[in-house]
């Protein structure tokens, strides 16, 4: 007689329902798993057999066939160990209980311990959509699955615990629904830690208000990394939907801490410049999210930008425009979201002191040109603000004067984002940086003076269509900061100023 146990699987960002069907019949003792399993699932035969025996049950010495349905979808990972064990015990008669409203996931050790798996949150969401009432998951993943109401999450640490629960001998208590704390996030650093650099702080606030990408150029020790690391302290709080989206990616990537069931703060990812193209964009034999997707709804910081692999840098171009990255392989095409703020920092030359007021640059003109040429024009065009971060003088460093805190700046950022939320409430646009080309004229009106300045600047600076578009969006943000419905000349002039460094360094 065939017995069926419900489980879940992961395909990219989405979970899908899996039926674990087991048939035990007479014949040569064999244990086969079918239904497009990968190597790790085939290896589960040894784990399941040992776990059954070591938990005091008799493993059936008969012909066992386990089918993972639907059979036309590739299954991967060790997530099916627990449902296969339950299905075999159910089919052999060792376990008799009604589990039609339940689903099971988890990896098994040889002794019967239930180990954590990746992707529990999206699987719990899908289980609830499928009408599952009880979801049995590894104990270390239980808090992650309890984010949503409408489904009971049962933590399982050992097979014997599960069996006693199913036999009503010793019930497992379901997890309490997790509610994100309403308390403000506390950071160990503040933007007031950065001495001087008022122009850079202004640009950083503009970037935060509009969700813009930014490039910082400056000599070593000018505070570029300090500024970038403090950007999350002035960004708006995440919405619940953003928390869920981000947590799903971190869960699938296997980087969600056991004590963090829900990501409540915006991610800040700063990969080393040796990161590969796959590590940045995602992929691999078994496709997984890359740094650009793990930073979804947050900040991706690329320090020493010219030192990154050129292919890795160029891969960023399309995801920055689309807000998603598609990975195509022979057996799968997956799309991961990557709505990020890209903050890049770089030195002006290999030695770092080109244009420094007091330290002489030791690089040749050819070396400087070769170094800067590693940043392509199309990638520069996708960085909305280009700012120079000069050395900080002694007076600013030694000053006891307290500058604005992150909390004070965040209040202004929240006010500007509220204006944008109201403006775009009936659209798919989330912030000024995400204004679609078709909506630019509607949402970025200019007065006559601003139009004249834009026309002269476009002709004299030789702006590309994308640069024109970026300047308009940054102008829109500056106008919002000034509580102006129309983009005025002062707003536009400031935005143009943030696009002038490519003329200075790249001669474009």
DSSP class per residue in 92-161: HTS-----TTEEE--EE-TTSBEEP-S-HHHHHHHHHHTT--EEEEEGGGHHHHTTSSSSEEEEESBHHH
Place of tokens 């964009």: 281
- Map residue 172 onto helix, strand or coil: coil
Average pLDDT over residues 5-31: 93
d(CA 163, CA 487) in angstroms, rounded, equals 67
**How is residue 358 written in tokens?**
């007091």
Q: Is the pLDDT of residue 180 over 80?
A: no
Residue 21 pLDDT greater than 90, yes or no: yes
Side-chain-side CA neighbours of residue 358 (13 Å):
5
Q: Which pair of structure tokens corresponds to residue 330?
A: 């022979």
Cα–Cα distance for residue pair 57/52, rounded to 1 Å: 5
At 271, give phi and psi (nearest 5°).
-65, 150
Tens digit of pLDDT for each residue in 63-74?
A: 999 999 999 888
pLDDT above 70 (res 492): yes
Q: State which residues form the domain around 359.
A: 191-505
Same domain for 283 and 342:
yes
CB 151 within 8 A of CB 198: no
- Please report the pLDDT score of residue 181 as a whole number: 66
- Supply the CATH number for residue 159's domain: 3.30.230.10
Structure tokens at 363: 């690089």
Alpha-carbon distance 134 to 121, whole Å? 14
Q: What confidence tens digit (pLDDT) does each residue in 125-167 have?
A: 999 999 999 999 999 999 999 988 889 999 999 999 999 999 9
The pLDDT tens digits of the residues spanning 352-393 come to 998 888 899 999 989 998 999 899 888 988 899 999 999 887
**What backbone phi and psi angles, to 5 degrees, belong to 277?**
-60, -40
Computed over its alpha carbons, how large is the radius of gyration of the chain? 28
Q: Place 414 in a pLDDT band, splitting at 50, 70 and 90.
A: very high
Q: How far apart, in whole angstroms, are the C-alpha atoms of residue 381 and residue 502?
A: 9
Q: Are residues 343 and 448 in the same domain?
A: yes
The structural domain count of the chain equals 2
C-alpha distance across the termini of the chain, in Å: 74
| pLDDT confidence of residue 284 | 74
Residue 451 lies in a domain: yes
Same domain, 155 and 226: no
- Nearest alpha-carbon partner for 343 in 312, 302, 309, 384: 302
Question: pLDDT digits over 292-342, tens only?
Answer: 999 999 999 999 999 999 898 989 998 998 899 988 876 678 889 999 999
Do 129 and 49 reside in the same domain of the chain?
yes
Q: What is the pLDDT of residue 329?
A: 72
Torsion angle of alpha carbons 275, 277, 281, 283, nearest 10°?
Answer: -110
From edge to edge, which strands make up the β-sheet containing 385-388? 268-269, 299-302, 341-346, 214-217, 385-388
Pick the closest to residue 296 from 263, 251, 338, 265 (CA basis). 338
Within-domain flag for 183 = no
Cβ atoms within 10 Å, residue 103: 26
Give domain status of residue 179, yes or no.
no
Bridge partners (DSSP) of residue 268 are: 299
pLDDT at 503: 66
Pull the structure tokens for residue 151: 């489904």
**300/241 Cα distance (integer angstroms):** 20
**Residues 486, 400 within the same domain:** yes
In a domain, 173, yes or no: no
pLDDT attached to residue 69: 94
pLDDT score for 14? 86
Q: Is 502 helix (H, G, I), strand (E, B) or coil?
A: helix
Length of the chain: 508
- 139 and 219: one domain? no
The Cα–Cα gap between 247 and 254 comes to 10
pLDDT mean over 30-47: 91
Residue 23 main-chain phi, psi, to 5 deg: -125, 125
Mean pLDDT within 431-437: 92
**Are residue 440 and residue 490 in the same domain, yes or no?**
yes
| Same domain (yes/no): 447, 331 | yes
CB within 8 A of 170, min separation 6: which ones?
161, 164
Structural domain includes residue 184 = no
Contact assessment for residue 444 and residue 472, using Cβ atoms and an 8 Å cutoff: yes
Q: Enumerate the β-bridge partners of residue 214.
A: 343, 385
One domain, residues 158 and 305: no
The residue out of 166, 182, 200 marking a domain boundary is 166
Report residue 59 as tokens. 């493993």
Give the separation between CA 386 and CA 377, rounded to whole angstroms.
13
Instruction: Please answer whether residues 120 and 251 qualify as being in contact, where contact means their C-beta atoms are separated by less than 8 angstroms.
Output: yes
Output the CA angle 32-38-42, nearest 5 degrees.
35
Give dist(CA 35, CA 24) in Å, integer. 17
Q: Are residues 196 and 160 in the same domain?
A: no
Please give the pLDDT value at position 397. Answer: 76
* Same-domain pairing of 380 and 250: yes
pLDDT tops 70 at residue 223: yes
Query: What's the CATH code of the domain at 423?
Result: 3.40.50.300
Helix, strand, coil percentages (3-state) for the chain, rounded to 5, are: 40, 20, 40
Closest CA to 383 of 265, 490, 300: 300
Identify whether 180 is part of a domain. Answer: no
Instruction: Decide if 402 is inside a domain.
Output: yes
Asked if 119 and 216 sit in the same domain, the reply is no
Residue with tokens 């339940």: 102
**pLDDT, tens digit, 9 for 90 and up, residues 389-412:** 998 877 777 777 778 899 999 999
Report phi then psi at 440, rounded to 5: -60, -50
Q: Is 181 inside a domain boundary?
A: no
Q: Is residue 508 predicted with pLDDT exceeding 60?
A: no
């Amino acid at each position: 007689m065939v017995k069926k146990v419900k489980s879940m699987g992961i395909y990219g960002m989405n979970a899908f329902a899996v039926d674990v069907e087991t048939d035990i019949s007479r014949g040569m003792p064999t244990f086969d798993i079918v239904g497009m399993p990968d190597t790790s699932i085939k290896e589960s035969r040894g784990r399941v057999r040992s776990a059954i025996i070591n938990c005091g049950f008799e493993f059936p010495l008969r012909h066992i066939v386990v089918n993972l349905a639907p059979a036309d979808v590739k299954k991967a990972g060790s997530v099916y160990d627990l449902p296969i064990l339950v299905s075999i015990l159910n089919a052999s008669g060792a376990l008799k209980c009604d589990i039609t409203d339940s689903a099971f996931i988890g990896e098994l050790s040889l002794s019967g311990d239930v180990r954590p798996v990746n992707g529990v949150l999206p699987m719990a969401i899908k289980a609830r959509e499928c009408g599952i009432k009880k979801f049995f998951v590894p104990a270390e993943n239980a808090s992650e699955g309890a984010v949503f109401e409408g489904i009971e999450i049962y933590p399982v640490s050992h097979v014997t615990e599960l069996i006693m629960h199913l036999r009503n001998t010793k019930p497992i208590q379901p997890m309490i629904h997790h509610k994100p704390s309403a308390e403000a996030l506390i950071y160990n650093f503040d933007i007031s830690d950065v001495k001087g650099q008022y122009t850079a702080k202004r640009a950083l606030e503009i970037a935060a208000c509009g969700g813009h990408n930014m490039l910082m150029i400056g000599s070593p020790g000018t505070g570029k990394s300090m500024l970038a690391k403090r950007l999350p302290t002035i960004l708006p709080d995440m919405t619940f939907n953003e928390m869920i989206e981000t947590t799903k990616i971190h869960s699938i990537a296997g980087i969600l801490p056991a004590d963090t069931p829900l990501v409540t703060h915006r991610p800040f990812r700063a990969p080393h410049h040796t990161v590969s193209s796959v590590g940045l964009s995602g992929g691999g034999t078994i496709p997984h999210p890359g740094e650009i997707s793990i930073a979804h709804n947050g900040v991706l910081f690329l320090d020493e930008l010219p030192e990154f692999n050129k292919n890795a840098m160029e891969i960023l171009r399309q995801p920055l425009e689309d807000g998603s990255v598609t990975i195509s392989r022979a057996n799968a095409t997956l799309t991961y979201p990557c709505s990020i703020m890209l903050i890049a920092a770089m030195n002006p030359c290999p030695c770092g002191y080109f244009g420094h007021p007091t330290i002489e640059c030791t690089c040749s003109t050819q070396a400087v040109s070769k170094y800067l040429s590693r940043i392509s024009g199309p990638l520069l065009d996708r960085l909305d603000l280009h700012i120079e971060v000069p050395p900080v003088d002694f007076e600013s460093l030694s000053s006891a004067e307290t500058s604005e805190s992150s909390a004070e700046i965040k209040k202004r950022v929240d006010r500007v984002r509220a204006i944008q939320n109201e403006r775009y409430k009936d659209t798919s646009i989330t912030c000024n940086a995400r204004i679609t080309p078709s909506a630019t004229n509607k949402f970025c009106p200019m007065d006559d003076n601003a139009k004249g300045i834009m026309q002269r600047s476009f002709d004299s600076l030789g702006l590309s269509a994308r640069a024109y578009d970026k300047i308009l969006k940054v102008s829109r943000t500056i106008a919002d900061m000034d509580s102006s419905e129309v983009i005025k000349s002062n707003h536009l002039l400031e935005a143009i100023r943030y696009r002038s460094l490519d003329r200075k360094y790249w001669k474009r």
